[in-house]
């Protein structure tokens, strides 16, 4: 899934329980467990399948094994969707608008679409059968190679047994120079015969019999387009639905995808932004940051700031905080604010903090 | 509130009558808009950066009144939605771009493409003609292939980004 952390839209991130950082808009929340979580901490289940070309929507069942669209094809070279092409003779074929591949190269063209799809499905079946033969032959060759290896091991054992039982004079044998040259010539000839698949029979050179024909080049056959899936999200602890997508039919009969259930983090929590970062010293070792907490939702709720642990304070080197609101502060309903007049109602809280900046940070930012 | 549109003086606009802008749009340096071929419609809060070319695409069609059944070239209009950001050095020949779309640098979008809402196109990508991009998807590469899915809240992220861009923009 795509993440926005690389683009650095805003420097405010939320740390999930799993340790990853996300934007405030990317988090989900479970009201029953009162926890906000990231997409890795939710449970995903497939609910719908969509084709990216014809937009056919089908519901997913445990018993359905369909993963491809039966009407659409994709190019075997560049994986883009194929389009119909009609000639002057009213002959239909598929072609790719990016790499100019066409089914005419496979001799697949016909007057009707159903006949054309039958030809393509038949070619796909034949290709799978052709792939099974070389796999079967290779398994036979491997078994034969094992048998040959076992025979060689037996011959070596026999030879070693002879050498042990023979006398010393028989073991020691000096080859004459003629014997060495003859053996070397035979080895060189054997290498050439094996390279060109030749055989010596009765003082005549003959070609060996091909036991296995060379495999044909694979045909470029278009495949069916794979379907995309839409998923629902659940809380892992309480198994309650967080995000659900459903089909909706309009008056015209067209299908649309609609989110029926959605619990996002920004709908139930205040929105934090940073404003105005200034250096307080000439040495640029301390910076003052203004933090703003807003209520963008139209609900009323109370917040509480909890004290941080000392490990985190030492890591971020927080010096001091000013204008902190009371430990429990609240946001009021916007609808009441608009109707009320003269009341000192607040929809946002500001406070600032001073943070110590390491020495290398300034030079890195300039680079 | 005044709906201000910011435009640079060095723009290559042709036939201004056919170009419709709703409001609060920003057009930067060396943008070329071919309004002489077909109409171009913009939504609100659109940002188009340097040296972008907006060129309508053509199709062959037989007119209804013809007797010879000869095909004629027809240019299809471009329709761009709200909260769209197009970065530098892009060539766009799409017929429809939905709302809350982000297009990266050096992209080439083929003829008669349809980009639906809340989608992202990565930088240095080439999208072949006649493609239909589903909502909430990320396309990239040469040729453009579906790579990721975007989260459900991309519309809010894109809106906040462009609202802040319009607030902090200073015309020279």
**What's the CA gap between B50 and B69, in Å, rounded?**
43
Q: Does A40 touch chain B (CB under 8 A)?
A: no
Whether B151 sits inside 8 A of A39 (CB atoms) is yes
Q: What is the ipTM of this complex?
A: 0.77
For residue B30, the model assigns a pLDDT of 87
How many Å separate Cα B116 from the centre of its chain? Answer: 11
Summarised one tens digit per residue, pLDDT across range B61-107 is 777 777 777 788 889 999 999 999 999 999 999 999 999 999 999 99
Checking DSSP bridges between strand B26-27 and strand B47-48, what pairing results, if any?
parallel
**What's the CA gap between A241 and A232, in Å, rounded?**
8
DSSP-derived letter for residue A81 is: B
Checking DSSP bridges between strand B96-97 and strand B78-80, what pairing results, if any?
parallel
Whether B128 sits inside 8 A of A53 (CB atoms) is no
Q: Which of A25, A39, A80 sits opposite B156 (nearest CB)?
A: A25
pLDDT mean across residues, chain B = 86
Asked whether the predicted pLDDT for residue B56 surpasses 50, the reply is yes
Q: Which of B7, B153, B60 is nearest to A29 (CA)?
A: B153
Asked whether the predicted pLDDT for residue B34 surpasses 80, the reply is yes
Q: Does A259 touch chain B (CB under 8 A)?
A: yes
**What's the CA gap between B116 and B134, in Å, rounded?**
6
How many beta carbons lie within 10 A of that of residue B128, not counting itself? 21
**What's the CA gap between A216 and B47, in Å, rounded?**
54
A to B CB pairs, distance under 8 Å:
61
Rg of chain B, C-alpha, whole Å? 17
Q: Does B112 touch chain A (CB under 8 A)?
A: no
Contacts of B100 in chain A (CB under 8 A): none
Mean pLDDT by 10 residues, chain A (367 residues): 56 84 89 90 89 84 81 88 87 88 89 89 78 67 74 77 66 69 80 72 65 63 90 90 84 76 87 78 78 76 74 65 62 55 57 69 47
Interface test with chain A among B57, B138, B153, B162, by most A beta carbons within 10 Å: B153
**For A7, nearest residue in chain B (alpha carbons):** B161
Quick check: helix, strand or coil at residue B74?
strand
Whether A2 sits inside 8 A of B134 (CB atoms) is no
Q: Does B121 touch chain A (CB under 8 A)?
A: no
Q: Which of A10, A80, A264 sits opposite B128 (nearest CB)?
A: A80
Q: Look-up: residue for tokens 């589903």?
A: B134
Quick check: helix, strand or coil at residue A246?
strand
Whether A50 sits inside 8 A of B130 (CB atoms) is no
**What's the CA gap between A226 and B147, in Å, rounded?**
13
Peptide bond into A351 cis (omega under 30): no
For residue B87, the model assigns a pLDDT of 93
Q: Does B9 touch chain A (CB under 8 A)?
A: no
The answer to whether A73 and A224 have CB atoms below 8 angstroms apart is yes
Contacts of A99 in chain B (CB under 8 A): 143
The answer to whether A47 and A73 have CB atoms below 8 angstroms apart is no
Quick check: helix, strand or coil at residue A331?
strand
Contacts of A83 in chain B (CB under 8 A): 130
> In A103-218, where do the E strands start and end?
198-201, 204-207
For residue A363, the model assigns a pLDDT of 47
Q: Which two tokens stand for residue A362?
A: 């300034």
Rg of chain A, C-alpha, whole Å? 38
For residue A286, the model assigns a pLDDT of 77
Contacts of B148 in chain A (CB under 8 A): 1-2
Q: Does B153 touch chain A (CB under 8 A)?
A: yes
Q: Which two tokens stand for residue B120?
A: 């992202």
For residue B92, the model assigns a pLDDT of 95
Q: Render the burial of A254-281: b for 16+ CB within 10 Å, e for the rest.
A: eeeeeeeeebbbbeebbbebeeeeeeee
The answer to whether B23 and B44 have CB atoms below 8 angstroms apart is yes
Interface test with chain B among A6, A8, A80, A90, by most B beta carbons within 10 Å: A80
Q: CA angle, B13 as apex, B26 and B44 as ends, to 5°?
A: 30
Q: Does A60 touch chain B (CB under 8 A)?
A: no
Whether B150 sits inside 8 A of A243 (CB atoms) is no
The answer to whether B112 and B61 have CB atoms below 8 angstroms apart is no
The answer to whether B94 and B113 have CB atoms below 8 angstroms apart is yes
The answer to whether B115 and B109 have CB atoms below 8 angstroms apart is yes
> DSSP for B103-145?
E-TT-EE-TT-EE-SS-EE-TT-EE-TT-EEPSSEEEETTTTE
Q: Which two tokens stand for residue A25?
A: 């808009």
């Amino acid at each position: 899934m795509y993440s926005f952390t690389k683009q650095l839209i805003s420097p405010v991130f939320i740390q999930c329980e799993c340790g990853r950082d996300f934007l405030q808009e990317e988090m989900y929340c479970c009201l029953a467990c009162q926890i906000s979580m990231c997409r890795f901490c939710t449970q995903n289940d497939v609910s719908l399948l969509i084709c990216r070309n014809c937009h056919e929507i089908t519901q997913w069942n445990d018993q359905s094994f369909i993963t491809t669209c039966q009407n659409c094809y994709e190019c075997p070279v560049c994986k883009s969707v194929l389009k119909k092409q009609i000639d002057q003779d009213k002959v239909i074929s598929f072609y790719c608008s990016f790499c100019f591949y066409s089914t005419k190269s496979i001799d697949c063209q016909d007057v009707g679409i159903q006949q054309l799809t039958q030809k393509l499905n038949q070619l796909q079946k034949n290709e799978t059968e052709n792939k099974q033969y070389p796999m079967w032959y290779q398994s036979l060759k491997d078994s034969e190679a094992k048998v040959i290896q076992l025979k060689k091991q037996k011959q070596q054992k026999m030879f070693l047994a002879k050498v042990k039982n023979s006398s010393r004079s028989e073991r020691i044998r000096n080859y004459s120079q003629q014997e060495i040259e003859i053996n070397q010539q035979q080895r060189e000839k054997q290498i050439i015969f094996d390279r060109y698949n030749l055989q010596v029979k009765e003082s005549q050179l003959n070609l060996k019999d091909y036991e296995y024909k060379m495999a044909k080049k694979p045909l470029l056959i278009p495949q069916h387009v794979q379907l995309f899936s839409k998923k629902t999200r659940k809380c892992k602890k309480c198994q309650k639905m967080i995000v659900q997508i459903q089909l909706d039919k309009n008056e015209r009969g067209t299908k649309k995808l609609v989110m029926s259930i959605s619990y996002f983090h920004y709908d139930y929590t205040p929105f934090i932004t940073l404003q105005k970062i200034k250096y307080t010293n000439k040495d640029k070792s301390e910076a003052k940051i203004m933090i703003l907490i807003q209520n963008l939702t139209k609900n009323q709720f109370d917040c509480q700031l909890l004290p941080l642990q000392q490990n985190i304070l030492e890591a971020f080197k927080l010096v001091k905080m000013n204008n902190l609101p009371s430990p429990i502060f609240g946001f009021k309903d916007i609808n009441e604010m608009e109707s009320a007049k003269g009341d000192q109602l607040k929809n946002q809280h500001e406070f600032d903090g001073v943070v110590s900046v390491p020495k290398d940070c300034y030079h890195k930012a300039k680079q | 509130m005044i709906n201000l549109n910011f435009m640079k003086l060095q723009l290559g606009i042709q036939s201004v009558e056919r170009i419709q802008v709703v409001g609060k749009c920003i057009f930067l340096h060396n943008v070329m808009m071919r309004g002489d071929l077909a109409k171009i419609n913009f939504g609100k809060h659109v940002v188009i950066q340097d040296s972008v070319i907006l060129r309508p695409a053509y199709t062959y069609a037989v007119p209804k009144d013809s007797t010879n059944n000869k095909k004629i070239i027809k240019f299809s209009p471009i329709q761009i939605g709200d909260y769209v950001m197009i970065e530098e050095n892009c060539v766009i020949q799409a017929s429809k771009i939905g709302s809350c779309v982000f297009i990266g640098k050096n992209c080439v979008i083929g003829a008669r493409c349809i980009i639906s809402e809340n989608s992202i196109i990565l930088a240095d990508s080439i999208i072949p003609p006649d493609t239909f991009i589903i909502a909430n998807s990320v396309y990239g590469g040469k040729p453009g292939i579906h790579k990721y899915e975007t989260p459900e809240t991309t519309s809010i992220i894109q809106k906040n980004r462009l609202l802040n861009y319009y607030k902090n923009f200073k015309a020279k």
